[in-house]
Each structure stands twice: as structure tokens, then as C-alpha cells.
């Protein structure tokens, strides 16, 4: 491993250890090794990073699970409106609204690691006259 140098200190990350080296004066060097958890604790105590609390992590997991469940229901409704609904009914408004809602759900779930997004209809809206570009005002 190669030591990275910043003014008056050098460091090296070796697995779970952070090795620090600093000039102690008179040609001597001081060495300190910190475990990853010790470095994380110091960074948290200094306000450099915010340590997650168990309650916050549980809340985030709950919100992620609910977003995935909501996304699955929106995808199901959107697929039904486009593929299984009565062809004689004029559902153009409902289909457009459903597609836009699906686009929003896709965006909300885009960064959830385990969110299994089906093929997005974000670029096109299906209508009897063919694909049309969908624009959503923010």
C-alpha cells in the first residue's frame, strides 16, 4: 500500500485499518492505526457524518417497503388500464393519468436497491392513435 500525504500527515487505508503517520519533529515520526469503526465514531463525534440511529434505520426500511408495495400496485393498475380494460370505453384520461403516476412511482423508487421496476412507460403513452410524448408539469 502507498501512503497518501496531506499537509503534515500521511495515511493509508489497509482493509479495516487506517494507518496515520505524522512528523513528530527532530526527524522522528509518530504512527497511529485506527480501526474503521473508530474512524467512523470520530467522524460522527466531530459532526462530519451523521451516524444512523436504529429507529431511523427501521423507519427508512419501513418507508422503502411501503414505496415498493405502492409501486407494485401502481404498475398493476397501469398495466390493467392499458392491456386488460374494455376497449370500447374511452379511458384516455385515466390511461394518461395512470402512466404519469407510474412515472412518478418509478422515479420515487429509482434509488431503492431492491426495487424491481418493470419496463417503464416513461417515454410513451399508449393510446388508440399511437404513442404520444407525455409531459408532466413539476
Q: Supply the pTM of this predicted model.
A: 0.43
Does residue 79 sit in the same domain as residue 127?
yes
Task: Count up the domains in the chain and report the number.
Answer: 2
CA angle 68, 77, 65 (to 5 degrees): 10
Does residue 121 sit in the same domain as residue 76?
yes
Does residue 82 sit in the same domain as residue 119?
yes
Does residue 133 sit in the same domain as residue 68?
yes
Confidence (pLDDT) at 113: 55
Does 34 fall in a domain? Answer: yes
How high is the mean pLDDT of the chain?
Answer: 77
Does 112 fall in a domain? Answer: yes
Confidence (pLDDT) at 40: 86
Does residue 98 sit in the same domain as residue 38?
no
**C-alpha–C-alpha distance, residues 34 and 45, integer Å:** 15
Confidence (pLDDT) at 18: 92
**Contacts made by residues 62-67, CB under 8 angstroms, sequence distance 24+:** 64/112, 64/114, 64/115, 67/105, 67/108, 67/109, 67/112, 67/115
Order of strands, sheet of 4-6, starting from the edge strand that comes earlier in the sequence: 4-6, 9-14, 17-25, 28-35
CA angle 125, 130, 131 (to 5 degrees): 35
Confidence (pLDDT) at 119: 36
27: containing domain: 4-45
Burial class (CB in 10 A: 0-12, 13-18, 19+), 5: exposed
110 pLDDT above the threshold of 60: yes
56 pLDDT above the threshold of 90: no
Residue % of the chain over a pLDDT of 90: 24
Does residue 31 sit in the same domain as residue 76?
no
Confidence (pLDDT) at 44: 82
Does residue 40 sit in the same domain as residue 65?
no
Does 50 fall in a domain? Answer: no
Average pLDDT over residues 25-54: 84
Does residue 37 sit in the same domain as residue 60?
no
Does 89 fall in a domain? Answer: yes
Does residue 67 sit in the same domain as residue 38?
no
Does residue 33 sit in the same domain as residue 100?
no
Confidence (pLDDT) at 52: 64
Average pLDDT over residues 25-47: 88
Does residue 132 sit in the same domain as residue 87?
yes
Amino acid at each position: 500500500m502507498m501512503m497518501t500525504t496531506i499537509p503534515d500527515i500521511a495515511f493509508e487505508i489497509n482493509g479495516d485499518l487506517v494507518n496515520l503517520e505524522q512528523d513528530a519533529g527532530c526527524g522522528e515520526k509518530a504512527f497511529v492505526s485506527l480501526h474503521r469503526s473508530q474512524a467512523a465514531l470520530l467522524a460522527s463525534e466531530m459532526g462530519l457524518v451523521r451516524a444512523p440511529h436504529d429507529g431511523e434505520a427501521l423507519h427508512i426500511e419501513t418507508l422503502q417497503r411501503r414505496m415498493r408495495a405502492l409501486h407494485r400496485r401502481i404498475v398493476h393498475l397501469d398495466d390493467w388500464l392499458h392491456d386488460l380494460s374494455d376497449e370500447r370505453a374511452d379511458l384516455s384520461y385515466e390511461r394518461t393519468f395512470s402512466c404519469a403516476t407510474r412515472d412518478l412511482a418509478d422515479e420515487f423508487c429509482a434509488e431503492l436497491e431492491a426495487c424491481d421496476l418493470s419496463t417503464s412507460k416513461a417515454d410513451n403513452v399508449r393510446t388508440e392513435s399511437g404513442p404520444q410524448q407525455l409531459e408532466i408539469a413539476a
